[in-house]
Amino acid sequence: MELRHLQYFVAVAEELHFGRAAQRLNMAQPPLSQQIRHLEEELGVQLFQRTRRHVELTDAGQAFLQEARLTLAQAEHAVKIARQAGRGEIGKLTIGFVGSATYEALPSIIRNFQARCPDVELILRELTTTQQVRALHDKRIHIGILRPPINDDTLVLETLIKEPIVLALPENHPLSRQSSLTVEALAHEHFILFPRHLGPGLYDQIIGLCQQGGFSPQVTQEAIQMQTILGLVATGLGIALIPASAQHLRSTGVIYRRLDTNIYVELAMARRKDDASPVLQAFLKIIWEDFSLL
């Protein structure tokens, strides 16, 4: 028995007329009648009572009609699910992200993706850049949103945004009276930084920026979370150089000042070169549209 036999049967059962059923199925009546007879022979029961002017379902036909409709509906659903999976509209996607991605970029990405692919299960994991690279290799995440640079030939890296570095100061700091500062003005300040082993890209950029200003920064404190760094700045323990988007945190006791430099930090996405997941491809398409990377 094939699905088409069920389709033939349901058409006749609903029309109770072989001619109209054949027309509905875009086929001739004799082959339709023959297929119904073959189906009855295969089942070993009579599905229809036939006269020259009348067709009606037998009790067996009534029972078979209900199950045939369920089977056809399930088959149609299976086809729909397969096509959705092939287009990346259903499934599971695990995203790693650095905390600073939540200030601006990540919320927009997630909102747009969920609006267009509501049946995809999203799993979000906050990880440092180093942890994301490891998770990509271990196939624990499909894509990472992180801070470059990354020297890894097995990963594809694409820039999402570039943003300036700004200076976070305690609100009563003497430098707060200036609207813009040079790097050289920070030579004698105490710095609060993100640990290098967890995010070497941003760390090295800050160290390199200070060295361009003619000094090596006095790092008095390290903290993993940006909110913690700003909290320590508020206590007066030091200053911090942070991505501009971190200003959205609005930490009490902290003010922000522009830095007179052309140095920018990047937020990028990384994925394995060999990952051809349809869900990932759908996610990438939305990212490319959102950030005009096409």
Q: Domain spans of the chain? A: 3-86, 90-159+267-290, 163-265
CATH of domain 90-159+267-290: 3.40.190.10
pLDDT at 294: 38
Treating both helix axes as pointing N-terminal to C-terminal, what angle do 278-290 and 105-116 enclose, rounded to 10 degrees? 120
Question: What pLDDT does residue 291 have?
Answer: 63
What pLDDT shows up at residue 166?
Answer: 93
Are the C-beta atoms of 225 and 103 separated by less than 8 Å? no
Provide the pLDDT for residue 286: 82
Residues pairing with 49 in the sheet: 56
Contact 240, 95 (CB under 8 A): no
Same fold, 3-86 and 163-265: no
Using CA of residue 282, residue 291, residue 108, residue 225, what is the dihedral sign?
A: positive
- pTM for this predicted structure: 0.68
Topology of the domain covering 163-265:
D-Maltodextrin-Binding Protein; domain 2 (3.40.190)
pLDDT at position 149: 86
Q: What is the pLDDT along the chain (294 residues), one digit of tens a residue?
A: 788 888 888 888 888 888 888 899 899 988 988 988 988 888 888 988 887 778 888 888 888 888 888 988 888 887 777 776 667 666 889 999 998 888 888 888 898 888 888 888 899 999 989 899 999 999 999 999 999 988 899 999 999 889 999 999 999 999 988 988 999 999 999 999 988 887 788 889 899 999 999 999 999 999 988 889 999 999 999 999 999 988 888 788 999 999 998 888 899 999 999 988 888 988 888 887 766 543
What is 3-86's CATH number, 1.20.1340.10, 3.40.50.300, 3.30.980.20, 1.10.10.10? 1.10.10.10
* Cβ-count burial 169-189 (b if 16+ within 10 Å, e if not): bbeebeebeeeebebebbeeb
